[in-house]
């Protein structure tokens, strides 16, 4: 078996660590893996074209952007913040962990398009998270808001990424099955999905802990600010 194409994974890891453009990193990794696998330039172009055509349905979310823009123009984000401010028992950690669980369960059922960055995180989850964080630390600055939006976006990414692999009809699962089948290893989509389940559970636990620790940091800052104002 030729292991050289696996160097494409190293390209992705190094590119992400160095914070290069994600699209450039992924395309470079694909080209490197293809060349190391013995594909010609023409074969690589054909493979990239076929992959783009087969995945073009993923761009359907763009059709929702005009509707989301109109809702934001009408004050959807402000309404979400006011609604969150009235929910006394819903903390920042409970909000984000609850969304993580919902996102992961929906992805497990194959409903990956129900939520997402454009239609849920930006207009709803991030503003609600800012309102919840303001309950803890009223003096949020722009850097704090950016950090919170990043946590909300990461929560959506993790919920979808680790949840969708449990869905047996997902293209990624079928791709894994096809790859192993080409190398003489027969696996059913169900067995692949079941092996992905422990990883999905671990991802939920780890991200939930990260969210809780993020809330604890805000609470410690609020406590320090309260002591400083009292002295």
Task: Give pLDDT tens digits for 122-147.
Answer: 888 999 999 899 889 888 889 999 99
pLDDT of residue 62: 61
Residues 175 and 218 in one domain: yes
Residues 95 and 6 in one domain: no
Q: Examine residue 108 and state whether it is found in any structural domain, yes or no.
A: yes
Nearest CA to 216 among 151, 127, 123, 146?
151
3-state secondary structure 61-124: HHHHHHHHHHHHHCCHHHHHHHHHHHCCCCCHHHHHHHHHHHHHHHHHCCCCCCCCHHHHHHHH
pLDDT at 185 over 60: yes
Q: Examine residue 132 and state whether it is found in any structural domain, yes or no.
A: yes
Q: Examine residue 59 and state whether it is found in any structural domain, yes or no.
A: no
Task: Read off the pLDDT of each residue in 207-225 and give the average, rounded to a whole number.
Answer: 94
Residues 197 and 139 in one domain: yes
Please tell me the pTM assigned to this model: 0.70
Write the DSSP symbol of residue 174. Answer: H
Query: Cβ neighbours of residue 169 under 8 Å, at least 6 residues apart?
Result: 110, 189
Local structure of 1: helix, strand or coil: coil
Residues 109 and 172 in one domain: yes
pLDDT at 170 over 90: no
pLDDT at 210 over 60: yes
pLDDT at 63 over 70: no
Q: Examine residue 226 and state whether it is found in any structural domain, yes or no.
A: yes
Residues 90 and 2 in one domain: no
pLDDT of residue 95: 94
pLDDT of residue 56: 60
pLDDT of residue 144: 92
Q: Examine residue 175 and state whether it is found in any structural domain, yes or no.
A: yes
What tokens appear for 139 in the block? Answer: 């003096």
Residues 157 and 208 in one domain: yes
Residues 29 and 102 in one domain: no
C-alpha span between 118 and 97 (Å, rounded)? 19
Domain count, the chain: 2
Name the more confident of 54 and 2: 2
Q: Examine residue 60 and state whether it is found in any structural domain, yes or no.
A: no
Nearest CA to 160 among 205, 119, 102?
102
Q: Examine residue 157 and state whether it is found in any structural domain, yes or no.
A: yes
CA distances from 75 to 28, 144, 161, 217 (A): 41, 22, 30, 30
Number of residues that make up the chain: 231
pLDDT of residue 53: 67
What tokens appear for 146 in the block? Answer: 């950016």
pLDDT at 171 over 70: no
Nearest CA to 208 among 119, 98, 109, 133?
98
8 Å CB contact between 121 and 152? yes
pLDDT at 204 over 90: yes
Residues 110 and 221 in one domain: yes
pLDDT of residue 113: 79
User: Range of 46's domain?
Assistant: 1-54
Residues 165 and 93 in one domain: yes
Residues 109 and 170 in one domain: yes
The string of pLDDT tens digits covering residues 16-48 is 899 888 888 988 998 888 888 888 888 888 877
Residues 136 and 29 in one domain: no
CA distances from 45 to 12, 40, 70, 186 (A): 20, 9, 39, 29
Residues 87 and 166 in one domain: yes
Q: Examine residue 79 and state whether it is found in any structural domain, yes or no.
A: yes
pLDDT of residue 100: 96
pLDDT of residue 211: 96
pLDDT at 61 over 70: no
């Amino acid at each position: 078996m030729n292991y050289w194409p696996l160097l494409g994974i190293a390209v992705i890891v190094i590119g992400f660590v160095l914070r290069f453009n994600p699209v450039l990193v992924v395309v470079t990794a694909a080209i490197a893996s293809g060349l190391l696998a013995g594909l010609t330039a023409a074969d690589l172009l054909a493979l990239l074209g076929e992959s783009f055509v087969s995945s073009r349905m993923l761009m359907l979310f763009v059709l929702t952007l005009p509707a989301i823009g109109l809702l934001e123009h009408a004050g959807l984000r402000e309404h979400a913040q006011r609604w969150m401010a009235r929910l006394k028992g819903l903390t920042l950690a409970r909000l984000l962990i609850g969304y993580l669980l919902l996102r992961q369960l929906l992805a497990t059922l194959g409903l990956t398009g129900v939520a997402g960055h454009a239609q849920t995180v930006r207009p709803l989850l991030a503003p609600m998270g800012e309102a919840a964080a303001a309950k803890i630390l009223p003096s949020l600055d722009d850097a704090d808001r950016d950090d919170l939006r990043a946590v909300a976006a990461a929560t959506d990414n993790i919920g979808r990424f680790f949840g969708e692999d449990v869905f047996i009809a997902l293209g990624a699962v079928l791709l894994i099955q096809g790859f192993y089948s080409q190398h003489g290893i027969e696996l059913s989509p169900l067995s692949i999905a079941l092996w992905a389940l422990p990883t999905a559970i671990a991802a939920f636990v780890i991200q939930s802990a990260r969210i809780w620790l993020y809330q604890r940091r805000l609470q410690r800052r609020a406590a320090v600010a309260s002591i400083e104002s009292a002295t």
